[in-house]
Amino acid sequence: MEKKSPEHCKHRHLLTGDNVLPMFKGAQGVRCRSCFNARRRKHYAKNHSKIRKAANTWRKNNPDKVRKWKLKHEYALSPEDYEQILSAQGYCCAICSRSFLDEKNKPVIDHDHQSEEVRGILCSSCNVGLGFLGDTLPNIEAACKYLSKGKV
């Protein structure tokens, strides 16, 4: 006789496709996503400071993994893509050409905030400057025109 899977968890949540978690190794029965998430929220609320401290310690001890994750998830870049962009720019800022080989000048990924597309790698000063000008060509052109006028 074939064992029939339950239709509800012990808290009477319906076990449909999107409310069922995949089985964990060694786990028995079906896992209800709603119950599992409620249990995780309760655990996090009880142990918030301990969990945050452990996460911060992990990030501090694993900067390369954090950087790889950020490149992949925030900019859709692999470490190889990032290195290729840096190399194509001569390891310099795409605007002011300051070298990134100087440890004080850290590279920053510049991206279009509308399309999320990476435009290049800048020094933090140039990136902040673009941000203050609203990342718009008319504002940047107006700033260039203003600077070209010279003194009053």
Q: Structural domain boundaries of the chain?
A: 63-124
pTM value is 0.65
Contacts of 140 (CB under 8 A, 6+ apart): 130, 133
In the prediction, which pLDDT does 42 show? 93
Instruction: Decide which of 1.10.287.3610, 3.40.1800.10, 1.10.10.10, 3.30.300.180 is the CATH code for 63-124.
Output: 3.40.1800.10
Asked if residue 48 lies in contact with residue 72, where contact means CB atoms within 8 angstroms, the answer is no
Q: Are 123 and 108 in contact (CB under 8 A)?
A: yes
pLDDT (tens digit, 0 to 9) for every residue of the chain, 152 residues total? 555 556 777 777 777 777 777 766 555 555 788 888 888 999 999 999 999 999 999 999 999 999 999 999 999 999 999 999 999 999 999 999 999 988 788 899 999 888 889 999 999 999 999 989 988 899 999 999 998 987 66
CA 27 from centroid of its chain's CA atoms = 32
Here the contacts of 142-146 (C-beta below 8 Å, separation 24 or greater) are none
Helix/strand/coil percent split, the chain, to 5? 50, 10, 35
Dihedral of the CA atoms 112, 117, 119, 123 (nearest 10)? 70
